[in-house]
Amino acid sequence: MLDRFELTDGRVIGITTDNASSNYSMTRKLQSAYEASRIEWPALRNHIPCMAHVIQLAVGPFMNSLSVKGRTNSWEAHERDQQFGENESIDGGKSQRLRKEGNARINKVSAMKPGLAKIIEKV
């Protein structure tokens, strides 16, 4: 792939990935490939785990403890729901129901803000 995209000269500054172990293996292989060309590319410094993924991993169990469930729609269904307003539902009212459930979840989490602020202050 380095040859294909003409990246054999060490121009790759960093790589952002999720936390799958295969990505750590891949960056070590990339380091080895660059070392073979006498290019310094330390995998530990140049592999950047995706912060959004790290946050998701941390917040997921917390949200589960609140019985907050994530979106079960496919990406296409979500986009369709965004395109059609609440009054233009093309799925028999399912979009409206999902919006109401989503608002209830947001309200549930918002109600916890004062308690979370106190916890954060103590940390």
Q: pLDDT tens, 108-120?
A: 666 777 776 666 6
Question: Other CB atoms closer than 10 Å to residue 30's CB: what's the count?
Answer: 19
Structure tokens at 115: 């308690």
Residue 40's closest CA among 30, 26, 54?
Answer: 30
pLDDT of residue 87: 45
Higher per-residue confidence, 73 vs 27: 27
The confidence band for 86, taking pLDDT boundaries of 50, 70 and 90, is very low
pLDDT at residue 78 above 90?
A: no
